Structure 1
């Protein structure tokens, strides 16, 4: 009896340790939306060195426009953190598996309630032409992480698409400064200035941030296209 009790106690102890380790990964609950089950996702944002190495390889492939190889590499190594799941959603969207990407980002937004989840879901909705839903998700992401230049840039662009031009310029100028005047936000902010007829804004971009004539011409075309889409 003493030996059996000792074994049973050891099993309980092992289960407790196992649950404690699993708890660190904060796995999703497998909730459902409109009766459809969502994927089980990890909500942990703590990256171990091996996780970072894996993501570095995936992002290197993404930067070389090899999303199919990046997706295969990601899935081969496992999805241990929220960052892994975000990359998977991004790669599914970029390989035309938009419905699957939506499921992942919906799970991240619902189960983790993170800026990354809402941001990804918002972009998927925009890709599907669901402007109102996309803008709402990007607004939530912006509330959760107001200092992210990428989120504020995408939210600002969504506002340009939906006609909130002056609010868009505010978001894009904030994103522009957070990004130190670099990246795609240059074109978006310039387009916002053209739409709102802010010539002083365009002049500022040219003088202080060396916006080229090619960039100005592209932004003007983008502004015209955005206005036509309304």
Structure 2
């Protein structure tokens, strides 16, 4: 008798509902700069905001004069992170993971896919001086970007140390920008403001604090 008046949603309203339904609720990152994310201390590297805590040493990966990645050193372990452009409607981790596995095996190492805290990852052992080196390759597909993380050293096999570095990955903020980029093109990073100021003072011949902004981090099977 008092039935509700059913009205059809407009096409625009349906599109909004469908879009909301496609966006998963997330409890942790890596985060996109345009989505809400928790505030914490991070180093601003331009294309990436990297969490920092006491006991961390941060180094930079250089390709010529270009900064393309960062390394966090912690308790005999290293976390190497790089951000890349990705297609708008599809991720690239499946493809990159297969390329990494092929490259590791081609270099005489081993690589096994397993499920990790961020989904599928690679547990690898790569030839190194004095024996094989255990390495974990982690990948996260974001909106128009892809983040690759490589954990080596003690944390590759010690879950307690690994948890700290995994926490870093969860709190990274990727700043993709709006400029067109080819898939797998590295998102360029830059020195944080205080390090740029120190470098400028150094170029001018002034006294500068020892920030070590140009330390090159370790390269772990750099495969594109």
* Range class of TM-score, shorter chain: under 0.3
Q: More helix by proportion, 1 or 2?
A: 1
| Greater Rg by CA | 1
- TM-score, length of structure 2 as denominator length: 0.24
Q: More strand by proportion, 1 or 2?
A: 2
- TM-score, length of structure 1 as denominator length: 0.24
